[in-house]
Structure 1
Amino acid sequence: MAIEPVRRSFAILEALSRRPHATLAVLAGETSLPRPTVVRLLGTLVELGYATQVSRSQGYRLTDRVLALAQGIRFIDHLVDIAAPHMQRFTQDHGWPLYLGSISHRAITIRYSTAAESPLSFERTALQRRSPILSGALGRAWLAFSTEEERRAILRDLGVRYDAKLATDFARIRRDGHAFSVVTRTARLQGIAVAIHRNERVLGCISMRFTRSAMSEATAGARYGAPLTALARTIAIDVASE
């Protein structure tokens, strides 16, 4: 359930972001908030450094401090720029499509894919598709290679108890170096994923999706586990060197 003061604050921020500056009357009209409420929220935003008063006639505008709120998004774009050529070469060499994902609001969101360039792909695009954390290869790799603190926080946010079975699963993934999706017996597709990590921080995860008729998990792990791990390591090094 949304916390009302937070919702109202973001309504003001969004209204201010749509124009160079705005008066109290404009903000109150656009957000449908009472004028005294707008005044209080603006006072808080000014005190925190996210807004400033231009003048009595022009009203308020956002400050460049709001750009810091998008640091995570900018980093994802940076990661995609670095990872894309490496992923493209992998797909050219091995044929299978790759997917780069990052964690986003209780799921893994696909940020980049070589599906359109893969002769073995079963889809042309997957951008912004969301993959479940607990059952998807990307999410399982993320959890396994996260710090203990982050892992527990993610599971807590999902409402999942961190029990002995999950701890054993994650320890096995760390030992193997890669994770597989949890799929039903009749599922046609399977995924194997590795984590891009640096200094105990997971930057993103890469998965390769393949048809189960083409190979088993054991074969996929033996054949592609090491190349995928090397790919992730190269990307992590390139990110750190930028």
Structure 2
Amino acid sequence: MVLETLAGMEQPAALPAVAERLGAPVSQTYRVLRALQEEGFVDHVGRRGYRVGTRAIGLGALLGPWPELRALTYPVLVRLAGGTSLSARLHVRSGYDRVLLLAAVPPHDHDPSWRTRIGERSPLTRGCSGRAILAHLPESEIEAVLGARAGEEDGTLRTELRRIRGDGFAFSSAANHAGRRGISVPLTSASEVMGALSLSGPQAAVDEDGLRRLAGTVRAAADDIAGPLSAMLGPDATRRRYALDVLPPEHPRLDR
């Protein structure tokens, strides 16, 4: 009930406002929000209050992404995948992890050894999408993630994160999925990193130089997605979720 109420409010929403909307005591509302925050279903953004967390969005993706978000972002993924013949994937950050929200896979890339699992969670320390997000976080958050994932960190990770921040994109090869190679760029709004957009394909079909030449294409697609995603996840409280309530267009298909 608390999460549903928060989702229907302008976000971030202050604790007293959430309690008033619920008709519940502030102390009780706080305890529930704190429990949801610890599990990643709610984000606390300081004095501005609370907003729906990316883990809740990832869970929603398992049942079907939000129609208005899908209507505005999925066609971008389809165009990106169709124009490059590589798989396009949209991840959102969830605490120390990232969650796969949407994907567009060309017909020829249905590798039986690799599956696109909507809602899949992976650490920020692994793979090009995770590291593209991690490298662009504030230094204090990077340290928190690395501290929590200390067992997974290799000696070159900090150096790689600095390189990714300088380049604006990250590469990976067989990091999360055997036989796959990919490139990813962060999705940002103002100073906040919301997620990452990636392209990937079989290692035998695409090399790092080929992916590097596509960095600008992925960046342009990420810029197209950042606005709609920011309206749901970003820090600007003046952008209401109902601004995205549109009739979903006919989604282009990759096999046409």
Question: How would you bin the TM-score normalised by the shorter chain?
Answer: 0.5 to 0.7
CA contact (8 A) 1:92 1:118 kept: no
Alignment equivalent of 1:71, drawn from 49, 52, 77:
52
Distance 1:201 1:160 in 2: 27
Aligned-residue offset at 1:208: 1.3
Q: Which residue of 1 aligns with 2:144?
A: 153
Shift of 1:121: 3.4
The Cα RMSD (Å) is: 3.6
Q: Distance in 2 between matches of 1:80 and 1:202?
A: 19
Residues in 2 aligned to 1:138 and 1:108: alpha-carbon distance in whole angstroms? 8
Aligned to 1:194: 185
**2:108 maps to which residue?**
119
The 2-side partners of 1:216 and 1:144 are apart by 22
Q: Which residue of 2 aligns with 1:21?
A: none
Matched, 1:183 2:174: yes
Q: 1:174 to 1:133 in 2, by over 3 A?
A: same
Maintained 8 Å contact 2:81/2:87: yes
Secondary structure of 1:101's partner? strand
Secondary structure at 1:221's aligned position in 2?
helix
Per the TM alignment, residue 213 of structure 1 is displaced from its structure 2 partner at its CA by: 0.9
CA–CA distance in 1 between the matches of 2:149 and 2:173?
A: 17
Give SS of 1:119's match. Answer: helix
Partner of 1:136: 127
Counterpart AA for 1:201: E
Confirm or deny that 1:48 pairs with 2:27: yes
Task: Tell me if structure 1 keeps the 8 A contact 2:180–2:203.
Answer: yes
Amino acid at match of 2:53: G
CA contact (8 A) 1:91 1:118 kept: no
Aligned position for 2:216: 226
Structure 1 CA distance for aligned equivalents of residues 57 and 116 of structure 2: 22
Greater relative contact order (CA < 8 Å, ≥ 6 in sequence): 2
Q: 1:104 aligns with which of 94, 113, 117?
A: 94
Quickly say closer, same or farther: Cα 1:178–1:121, change in 2 above 3 A.
farther
> Which has the higher Rg, Structure 1 or Structure 2?
1
Q: CA deviation at 1:99?
A: 1.2
Q: Secondary structure at the match of 2:181?
A: strand
* Cα deviations by residue, 1:197-223 (Å, 9 ceiling, x for unpaired): 12121111111111111121122112x
Which digits, 9 at most, give the CA deviation of each residue in 1:118-152, with x for residues without a partner? 43232564211223322211111011111222222
Match for 1:198: what amino acid? Answer: S
Q: Quick one: structure 1 residues 228 and 199, their matched pair in 2 at CA, closer, same or farther if it must change by over 3 Å?
A: same
CA distance, structure 2, for counterparts of residue 205 and residue 238 of structure 1? 14
User: Shift in Å at residue 104 of structure 1?
Assistant: 2.7
- 1:141 touches 1:205 (CA, 8 Å); kept in 2? yes
Pairs within 5 Å for 1:17-36: none
What secondary structure does 1:213 align onto? coil
Q: Which residue in 2 is equivalent to 1:57?
A: none
The alignment's TM-score, normalised by the length of structure 1, stands at 0.62
**Distance in 1, Cα, partners of 2:144 & 2:71:** 29
CA apart distance, 1:103: 2.5
Q: After superposition, what is the alpha-carbon deviation per residue over 1:127-186, rounded to whole angstroms, capped at 9, x for unaligned? A: 1122332221111101111122222222222236989843321121122221112537x9
Q: Which protein has the bigger helix share? A: 1
Q: Normalising by the residue count of structure 2, what TM-score does the alignment of the two structures yield?
A: 0.59
Q: 1:83/1:118 Cα in 2 relative to 1: closer, same or farther (>3 Å)?
A: farther
Percent sequence identity over aligned pairs: 25
Deviation (angstroms), 1:225: 0.9
Task: Tell me, yes or no, if structure 1 residue 216 matches structure 2 residue 207.
Answer: yes
